[in-house]
């Protein structure tokens, strides 16, 4: 995204890497070390939770299902929810122990229930990371304990945080719980911003001696949601302070107006060799753009489509780019897609349009 000169520079952030992103537009507003590989520490549990939510949604786990911690899970190093090997815990409690208390014992228990073993679950984690487009991520385990290949990037963590909020909104409120008690032990959520900023409703902290102090945070304020990822800070206080700087900067100096509704046709594009001669192009989800505050009124959309468009066309196929212009400046670009399937025409229609394209090619 090209940012107008009227936007103040991002704040100085004392971290190894960071990203601040508008969740609605998907635009990165500022970053440092965007794709550098870093240790996620307990931010790993965002993926453990995502796959647990997926298993719940698909009926492979039930909220009231009782699971017993294995010896491996019970002996896990680091933070824990203090599971008792003699007392099964519900999936619902395990999720709260995973998210609020950052319990490694909860992570291993859920991982073994979903993947058969933590090693099997790690394979599922990596497949899901690939599906989501997390290109700099590899998981060795469900907890975030250090491993030679256990790495991610702040860009990938932002993708994952967005996916949790977008795909499983019914479970997202767990991230805003300020404490959770299990086995007569009450533990506070380590995300300090939950106590300081009422607009912050998630997501997760992480820490190891080698990774430093990490935080993925999200703020939902005045109809806008922004997500920050800060890694490699020096203390629990620093990760909260640095994250707050980024969230407030993004919310104060940018607007995110809606451009188009989901499945709203921007225009019809000519189709060759198809059963339909045109197809609508637009966005499958509501489309937003992040721009410097007060500049939305200056935007002019310019649509550039791929030519020629030849059937068959699947709904969702990219057919061009919408450029948002402020004068001569390109503020943002968004891919537009086909809003419907267009199957091939019969042989005569294909023959005729093939002839038309041949003639057009002669005069191009």
Question: Would you call 53 helix, strand, or coil by DSSP?
Answer: helix
Nearest to 293 by CA among 32, 23, 8, 13: 8
Tokens of 360: 């057009």
Q: 45, 96, 204, 334: which one is catalytic?
A: 45
Sequence-distant (≥ 6) Cβ neighbours of residue 217 within 8 angstroms? 191, 193, 200, 202, 203, 227, 228, 230, 243, 244, 247
Residue 275 appears among annotated catalytic residues: no
Note if 179 is an active site residue. no
Strands (E) located in 116-252: 179-182, 185-188, 200-208, 212-221, 224-233
The one catalytic residue among 42, 228, 243, 290: 42
Pairing of the two strands 291-292 and 278-282: unpaired
Q: Can the peptide bond before residue 155 be classed as cis, meaning omega within 30 degrees of 0?
A: no
The continuous run of DSSP H or E covering 62 comes out as: none
Cβ atoms within 10 A of the Cβ of 183, count?
14
Catalytic residue among 102, 142, 228, 290: 102
Is 102 labeled as catalytic in the residue annotation?
A: yes
180, 101 in Cβ contact below 8 A? yes
Q: State how far Cα 152 lies from the chain centre.
A: 13
List residues with catalytic annotation: 42, 45, 102
């Amino acid at each position: 995204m090209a940012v107008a000169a009227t936007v103040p520079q991002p704040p100085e952030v004392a971290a190894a890497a960071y990203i601040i992103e508008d969740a609605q537009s998907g635009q990165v507003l500022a970053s440092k070390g965007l794709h550098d590989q870093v240790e996620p520490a307990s931010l790993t549990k965002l993926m453990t939770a995502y796959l647990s939510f997926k298993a719940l949604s698909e009926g492979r786990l039930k909220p009231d299902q009782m699971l017993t911690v294995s010896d491996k899970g019970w002996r896990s190093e680091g933070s824990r929810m203090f599971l008792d090997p003699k007392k099964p815990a519900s999936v619902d409690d395990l999720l709260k122990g995973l998210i609020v208390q950052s319990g490694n014992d909860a992570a291993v228990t859920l991982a073994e229930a979903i993947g058969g073993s933590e090693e099997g679950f790690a394979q599922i984690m990596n497949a899901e990371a690939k599906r989501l487009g997390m290109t700099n991520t590899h998981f060795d385990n469900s907890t975030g304990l250090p491993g030679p290949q256990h790495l991610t990037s702040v860009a990938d963590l932002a993708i994952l945080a967005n996916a949790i909020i977008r795909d499983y909104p019914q479970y997202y409120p767990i991230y805003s719980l300020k404490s959770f008690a299990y086995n007569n032990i009450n533990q506070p959520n380590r995300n300090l911003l939950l106590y300081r900023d009422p607009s912050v409703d998630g997501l997760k902290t992480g820490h190891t001696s080698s990774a430093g102090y990490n935080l993925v945070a999200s703020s939902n304020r005045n109809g806008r949601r922004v997500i920050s990822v800060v890694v490699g800070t020096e203390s629990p206080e620093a990760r909260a302070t640095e994250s707050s700087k980024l969230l407030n900067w993004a919310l104060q100096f940018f607007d995110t107006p809606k451009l188009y509704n989901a499945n709203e046709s921007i225009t019809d594009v000519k189709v060759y060799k198809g059963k339909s001669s045109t197809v609508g192009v637009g966005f499958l989800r509501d489309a937003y753009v992040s721009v410097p505050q007060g500049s939305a009124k200056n935007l002019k959309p310019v649509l550039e489509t791929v030519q020629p468009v030849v059937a068959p066309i699947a709904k969702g196929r990219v057919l061009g780019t919408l450029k948002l212009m402020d004068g001569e400046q390109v503020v943002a670009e968004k891919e537009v897609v086909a809003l419907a399937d267009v199957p091939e025409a019969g042989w005569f229609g294909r023959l005729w349009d093939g002839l038309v394209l041949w003639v057009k090619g002669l005069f191009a």
